Structure 1
Amino acid sequence: MTQEATRERILETAAGLFYEKGVHAVGVNEIAARAAASKLSLYRYFESKERLVEAMLAEHSDRIHAWLIRNTADAPAGPPRVLSVFELLLEWFAQPGYGGCTVVNTVTDTRAAPAIAAIARRHLARYRALLEERLREMGVADPIPLARQLLLLIEGASVVTTIDGDLGAGADARAAAEILLRAQPPSTG
């Protein structure tokens, strides 16, 4: 097995365990055993558990954003293209076993350790940037506040779904997003 494959297996194993149990409830011994790797291998790739958590979260964020862009790129222009981001995320929130946003869970579990908080801020900034881009394409004159409002709806739907198990939260958030999009003045350009 290659070094890269071992590193990826450790990351994947850690991500699953952290999601299932929380960062503080999982030790490096459990991660190494479940990944069929030695602690020495784990520490060869990640100098500490904290570095492992940071690597896992950064890679998770990268994967989520690439998935969002890839799966919404062909949506029709205008409001449907903006709402496609919503629909994809809300579909994910409704999947069995959805236990909340990995980024939010990790920030909460680590009490917003500075490096984790920085990754989380970048994650949210990338969501906002994607929404801003889609709103600009739609002709929204000032997309920044609207992108923030849409992001609040997405994140709120995630939290309500996680805590309440209410799969209708996503549909409610999407309906509110549609109202916000319809309220935008027509493009003058």
Structure 2
Amino acid sequence: MPVTKGSPLDPARTRAAVLHRATAIFYARGLDGVGVAELCSTMGISKETLYRHFGSKEGLIEAVLKERSERVTRWLSEAAEAAGSDPRARLAAVFDALASWHGEPGFRGCAILNAATQHHGAGGPDEAGQHGAPREVAARHLERRLALLTDIARDAGAAQPEVLGRQFLMLVTGATIVADHHPGTPDAARHARTAALALLDAATHPDHRP
């Protein structure tokens, strides 16, 4: 719920509430689709509250993206772990989780990669005066996802788990982009799942390749 002026909430709860509300607004509107005044008005807070907790709109954006990255990484890891110890089942579970997410109302793709696309600075201010934090967060986000997928490839006994992990990463990321931008492919995650499992089988059972 919005944190109103004069709210008795403690600083940690206030910060968490602002993060939660800002996450939804940025996902629906984009990073540049809402200014500070409208953002604060929509959340029911003062500009002073935003600046006190985050320093600036850019600071809020960075905090939102970092929190979302941690949450999404944990969600996908838990989905894989829930599938058990079999690497093939864990890999399938990753894509099943994506398929469920892609089908949610209001799905607009990966908020972290969307943000990185809007803010092209590699570090420090870019030509538009924005900071490179979104791209840095996106890079770390993809590294975390790559680590999960590489672990699955390694546990499956792939000869080159790092290579296979990167191939899985391309399928995971590509499926989300296609699901967001190409309505004509409603089962993007399912198709990516089939391709990923075929890659895994080929890497772990080379004698069975066609």
TM-score scaled by length of structure 2: 0.84
Aligned to 2:199: 180
Aligned to 1:169: 188
Is residue 5 from structure 1 mapped to residue 13 from structure 2 by the alignment?
yes
Deviation at 1:186, TM superposition (A): 4.2
How far apart are the structure 2 equivalents of 1:145 and 1:114? 28
Q: C-alpha offsets along residues 151-171 of structure 1, whole Å, 9 cap, x if unaligned?
A: 111111111111112322111
Q: C-alpha offsets along residues 36-95 of structure 1, whole Å, 9 cap, x if unaligned?
A: 211101100011111111110011000011111222213131311122112112221122
Gaps of 5+ in 1: none
Aligned to 2:165: 147
Asked if structure 1 preserves the Cα contact closer than 8 Å seen for 2:119 and 2:135, the reply is no
Is residue 19 from structure 1 mapped to residue 51 from structure 2 by the alignment?
no
> Please, what is the CA RMSD of the aligned residues?
1.5
Gaps of 5+ in 2: 1-8, 122-130
The one of 63, 87, 90 aligned to 1:78: 87
Asked if structure 2 preserves the Cα contact closer than 8 Å seen for 1:10 and 1:31, the reply is no
Asked if structure 2 preserves the Cα contact closer than 8 Å seen for 1:13 and 1:31, the reply is no
| Higher share in helix | 1
Aligned to 1:96: 105
The one of 32, 38, 45 aligned to 1:30: 38
Aligned to 2:156: 138
Greater RCO between the two (CA within 8 Å, min separation 6)?
1
Asked if structure 1 preserves the Cα contact closer than 8 Å seen for 2:156 and 2:204, the reply is no
The one of 95, 119, 123 aligned to 2:141: 123
Bigger Rg, which one: 2
The one of 56, 65, 84 aligned to 2:73: 65
Asked if structure 2 preserves the Cα contact closer than 8 Å seen for 1:10 and 1:32, the reply is no
Aligned to 1:44: 52
Deviation at 1:173, TM superposition (A): 0.8
**Residue 183 of structure 1 aligns to a residue in which SS?**
helix
How far apart are the structure 1 equivalents of 2:145 and 2:170? 11
How far apart are the structure 1 equivalents of 2:23 and 2:82? 30
TM-score scaled by length of structure 1: 0.93
